[in-house]
Amino acid sequence: MDRNLSSIIDDFPEYLFNTINKAKHEARQQGRDIVDLGYGNPDIPSHPLVVEKLNEASRLTKNHRYSVSRGIFGLRNSISEKYFRSYNVTLNPEKNVVNTIGSKEGLTHLMLALCDPGDKVAIPDPSYPIHLYAPLIARADVIKVPLVDTESFLSNLDHMTKKKKIKALVVSFPHNPTTFEVNLDFYQSIIEMSQERGFWIINDFAYSDIFFENKVPPSLLQADGSLDNCIELYSLTKGYSMAGWRVGFAVGNEVAIGALTKIKSYIDYGTFQPIQIASAVALNKLDEYPFEISSIYKERRDIVVETLSSLDFKVTNSSSTMFVWAKIPESIKINSIDFSINLLEECDLAVAPGIGFGDYGEGYIRFALVENKDRIRQAMRNLKKKKWK
């Protein structure tokens, strides 16, 4: 009997955050109070109205049965109306929308729907890890495009796609980890490029609702011609602080959404129906809640940025996401993993090393703003006390 595992397991790169996670676990086992700004797991509670609706809906036994994998119509209609209110984008809930069990599930199955083994998928470097792993699961080949800034990214992408045929481009703006933002002209440029050279565009729009100073991030689907070949992944995880609920959507091109819907119909029966019902309430009645959540992240960000700037870190200026992306001072001659371990050992502070997001993340660290202001101030005091070399 052949007990060997699938070769796809061996194709997965080593998860570079394991070193930090192991050190963090050991520190807590020793009783140390670690301020964890490494893992982007929102601490802000979901809105009481959504929780109440979940409780109400879960008491109805008819909601305990299988749901539908593409999501109930009321939920799909709610996200369609949300896109019209927020972005003036018209979506048909029957053709342009499918409910996903979070963005990670949606992207992974979308890659299976779009790609054959050996197809090439372009992603930014650095990039959120699932943007690398999802194509690998589909046995596609990944091409990394340097993302040092958005202008050079466009130039690099243009140069690469003139030489190599790709099946899809995965982007995510506002961006994790760099916090880079783009405007509608950026999206128009990559759409024109894709239509000329024949590839899909997928935008992981996970941080759409976390923004400051009234700088609303544009949707990819606002650009002309986007429904011809574009898909956007939207999530309630960050803007509505519903991480554990696992409610997301793939919206956009009818053919791609249909293919994803078909694949999901063979894999799952959808999210627990009371969660879907409560999520529709969030979309229908809580347009203001993401603003409240964003203001909390803004206060936390200001505390971190002020301290880092005083310590000669170069902080990426951003008006969105729940992260701070900072370049390690040039006077500190160690790599991002060793530097992150150093912060854990000397400052009781966990951060994410930039190399974990790709080669172009080396030299940076990412702070996730997922502890309250007092805890973040505590971490920043510890940073200031450190003897910098």
Residue 64's pLDDT is 96
Residue 93's pLDDT is 98
Residue 153's pLDDT is 98
For residues 177 and 186, give the distance between their C-alpha atoms in angstroms, rounded to a whole number.
19
332 and 225 within one domain: no
Of 285, 313, 328, the last residue of a domain is 285
- The count of other CB atoms within 10 Å of the CB of residue 376 is 23
> What CATH number is associated with residue 70?
3.40.640.10
Q: Which residues of 303-321 are buried (b: 16+ CB within 10 A; e: fewer)?
A: bbbebbeeeebebbebbbb
Of 253, 285, 317, the last residue of a domain is 285
Q: Provide the pLDDT confidence category of residue 274 given band limits of 50, 70 and 90.
A: very high
**Bridge partners of residue 251, in order along the sequence:** 97, 232
Query: What letter represents residue 285's amino acid?
Result: K
> What CATH number is associated with residue 36?
3.90.1150.10
366 and 242 within one domain: no
Of 250, 285, 320, the last residue of a domain is 285
Question: Domain for residue 126, yes or no?
Answer: yes
- Residue 295 belongs to domain spanning: 7-45+289-385
Residue 10's pLDDT is 76
328 and 346 within one domain: yes
Tell me what the mean pLDDT of segment 175-201 comes to: 97
pLDDT at residue 26 tops 90: no
Question: Domain for residue 200, yes or no?
Answer: yes
Q: Rounded to the nearest 10 degrees, how much is the dihedral formed by the CA atoms of 81, 83, 84, 86?
A: 120
337 and 223 within one domain: no
pLDDT at residue 223 tops 90: yes
pLDDT in tens, 303-330: 999 999 999 999 999 999 999 999 999 8
108 and 85 within one domain: yes
What are 20's two structure tokens?
């930090």
For residues 179 and 176, give the distance between their C-alpha atoms in angstroms, rounded to a whole number.
6
Question: Domain for residue 167, yes or no?
Answer: yes
Residue 4's pLDDT is 80
- Report the 3 state secondary structure along 278-322: HHHHHHHHCCCHHHHHHHHHHHHHHHHHHHHHHCCCEECCCCECC
Number of domains in the chain: 2
Tell me what the mean pLDDT of segment 29-36 comes to: 90
Question: Domain for residue 1, yes or no?
Answer: no
Peptide bond into 124 cis (omega under 30): no
Tell me what the mean pLDDT of segment 199-212 comes to: 97
For residues 147 and 126, give the distance between their C-alpha atoms in angstroms, rounded to a whole number.
6
140 and 107 within one domain: yes
223 and 188 within one domain: yes
Residue 229's pLDDT is 97
Backbone torsions φ then ψ of 337, nearest 5 degrees: -70, -50
What is the model's pTM?
0.94
304 and 338 within one domain: yes
Residue 9's pLDDT is 80
Residue 15's pLDDT is 65
The chain-wide mean pLDDT, for the chain, equals 94
233 and 166 within one domain: yes
184 and 248 within one domain: yes
Tell me what the mean pLDDT of segment 59-65 comes to: 96
Residue 7's pLDDT is 82
For residues 387 and 262, give the distance between their C-alpha atoms in angstroms, rounded to a whole number.
57
336 and 201 within one domain: no
Residue 296's pLDDT is 97
Backbone torsions φ then ψ of 311, nearest 5 degrees: -105, 15
Question: Domain for residue 135, yes or no?
Answer: yes
Percent of the chain beyond pLDDT 70? Answer: 97
The larger pLDDT score, comparing residue 157 to residue 32, is at 157
131 and 73 within one domain: yes
Question: Domain for residue 2, yes or no?
Answer: no
Question: Domain for residue 232, yes or no?
Answer: yes
pLDDT in tens, 68-97: 999 999 999 999 999 999 999 999 999 999
pLDDT in tens, 105-136: 999 999 999 999 999 999 999 999 999 999 99
Question: Domain for residue 88, yes or no?
Answer: yes
Tell me what the mean pLDDT of segment 147-166 comes to: 97
